[in-house]
Copies of this chain bind each other. A is one copy, B any other.
Amino acid sequence: MKREMMKAVRTTPLFRSLSDGDWRDVVRFLHGHCYPADSYLFFQGDPPEALYIIWSGRVKLVRHTDQGRDVVVTVLGPGQLIGEMAVFDGRPYSMTAVTLEETAVVTIARNDLMTLIQRYPAVSFEVILELNRRLRLCTELVRSLAVDRVEQRIARALLRLKDLGGAPAPDGEGVMIDIHLTRQDIAEMTGTTVETAIRVMSRFRKEGLIRNYKGRTILLDIKGLETIARGK
């Protein structure tokens, strides 16, 4: 089990370019952990202890407000990194990481990681690429929040989630987003309220764009959603 987990992590972008010898060196620093659904990997403001690499499951990153309203900045899945930001600059985690379902992760302690990226420049470069990817996504999210209306933002969010956790619908047609998300999560991903998120999703359903199936959302008309996402 643990061996299998490590093997999967070895093919992760972060480590894929290491030689077998280097990998044997690196693997000593890795630790496996498993969390049930709705548990916290760390909280916004905690000191940076470790980098997390998701092996299985999904994790949302939530940015809290002084007041009650939270924002789900992103949802991450297998192979992706959590906590890199804090780990590299040593400042507290800027978001809270919450599991959406049972999740297994591999961690590397901050100090060990710092050693590794000095020893293996290729790992460094993969980190740069990953930060890059995040920054591009984040920039696009900023644009969307700044100029799109709720309907467009939700359409975009659904399409993004499809890319992250899409699977053919277990019954009939469509692409299922196989991630446990509440309407509240959708609302927090799109900077709106539960009620509005529900209203929009209902309308999408009535228009045949999406469909519900055991608490999951199935996308029926991706072209249609893309049209809405781009603002008609």
Point out residues on A near B: beta carbons under 8 Å: 63, 65-67, 69, 71, 73, 84-85, 88-89, 91, 94-95, 117-118, 121, 124-125, 127-129, 131-136, 138-143, 145-147, 188, 190-191, 230-231
Whole-angstrom CA separation of A67 from B94 in the bound complex = 33
Q: Nearest CB to that of A187 among chain B residues?
A: B146
The A contact surface, by secondary structure, is helix
Each complex incorporates copies of this chain amounting to: 2
Nearest-neighbour CB distance to chain B for A105, whole angstroms, equals: 20
Contact between A73 and B142, CB atoms less than 8 A apart? yes
Q: List 24 A-B contacts (CB under 8 A).
A: A63-B143, A65-B143, A65-B231, A66-B231, A69-B146, A71-B143, A71-B147, A73-B142, A85-B132, A85-B135, A88-B128, A89-B132, A91-B136, A94-B136, A124-B124, A135-B135, A138-B138, A138-B139, A138-B142, A141-B142, A142-B145, A145-B145, A145-B146, A146-B190
Q: Write out the residue numbers on chain B whose beta carbons fall within 8 Å of the beta carbon of A69.
A: 146-147
A135, A190, A191: residue with the most chain B Cβ atoms closer than 10 Å:
A135
Chain B neighbourhood of A138, CB < 8 A? 135, 138-139, 142
A133 touches which one: B65, B66, B89, B139 (CB < 8 A)?
B89
